[in-house]
């Protein structure tokens, strides 16, 4: 078989399962940082400077709404430190699933990372299908566009269909659109400025 044909077949095999590629890449990821921008269909908007480090540390610095608020999740204790007015002010110690700090869709801080998103997408795919769409650019970077849809009446975490833009060079999701069972858009999330495997300051997650 000609070398060019072998390369073509191998390339198609890699491109055929971008979700599996993204899951594999996340398992090797030590940390990431991103400006998370989300727009819900009901008009709710969030801008959060989001940081994650293995084995599950999360820090969220809020820009919009609640500007100045900081949440830090400790995977060892399973607790969240919430500083509504910044780290130099009052701090609350809460359970990760406390309704006060869950987002409007009920998502908890400990499952706010990309790994949890990919796990939900994999579960939805098991009960549905995955389709590849034409490549596109997000923030001047080439992406693979994937759509995952559950079978009739099937949803995971309230999502029946999801369109994801995976960066071709890192397999990181740069943009996500989620839809409900009636085809209505639930939310659009932009993560196009993600930085992977970065070194955070020593006490960034434990100030």
**Domains of the chain: total:** 1
36-47: average pLDDT: 92
Q: Which domain holds residue 54?
A: 17-196
In a domain, 6, yes or no: no
Q: pLDDT tens digits, residue range 132-168?
A: 998 899 999 999 999 999 999 999 999 999 999 999 9
Q: What's the pLDDT at 16?
A: 65
Closest CA to 174 of 139, 128, 150: 139
Report pTM: 0.87
State residue 81 phi and psi, 5-degree precision: -95, 120
Secondary structure element (H or E) that encloses residue 95, with its range: strand 92-95
> Among the listed ranges 57-71, 103-117, 193-207, which one has the minimum average pLDDT value?
103-117
Query: Where residue 42 sits, what CATH number does that domain have?
Result: 2.50.20.10
The set of residues, in sequence order, having a beta carbon less than 8 Å from that of 202 and lying 6+ positions away, is: none
Closest CA to 143 of 10, 4, 37, 21: 21
Q: pLDDT tens digits, residue range 5-18?
A: 333 344 444 456 99
Q: pLDDT tens digits, residue range 92-126?
A: 999 999 988 887 777 899 999 999 999 999 999 99
In a domain, 3, yes or no: no
In a domain, 10, yes or no: no
In a domain, 117, yes or no: yes
In a domain, 9, yes or no: no
Q: What's the pLDDT at 154?
A: 95
């Amino acid at each position: 078989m000609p070398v060019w044909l072998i390369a073509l077949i191998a390339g198609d095999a890699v491109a055929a399962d971008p979700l599996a590629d993204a899951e594999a890449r996340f398992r090797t990821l030590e940390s990431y940082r991103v400006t998370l921008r989300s727009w819900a269909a009901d008009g709710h908007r969030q801008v959060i400077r989001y940081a994650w480090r293995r084995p599950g540390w999360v820090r969220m610095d809020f820009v919009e709404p609640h500007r100045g608020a900081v949440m830090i999740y400790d995977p060892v204790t399973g607790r969240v430190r919430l500083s509504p007015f910044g780290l130099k002010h009052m701090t609350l110690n809460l359970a990760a699933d406390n309704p006060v700090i869950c987002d409007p869709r009920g998502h908890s801080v400990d499952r706010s990372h990309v790994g949890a998103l990919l796990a939900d997408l994999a579960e939805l795919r098991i009960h549905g299908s995955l389709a590849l769409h034409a490549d596109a650019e997000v923030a001047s970077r080439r992406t693979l566009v994937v759509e995952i849809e559950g079978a009739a009446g099937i949803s995971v975490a309230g999502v029946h269909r999801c369109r994801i833009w995976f960066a071709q060079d890192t397999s990181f999701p740069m943009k996500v659109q989620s839809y409900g069972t009636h085809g209505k858009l639930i939310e659009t999330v932009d993560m196009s400025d993600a930085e992977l495997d970065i070194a955070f300051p020593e006490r960034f997650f434990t100030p």
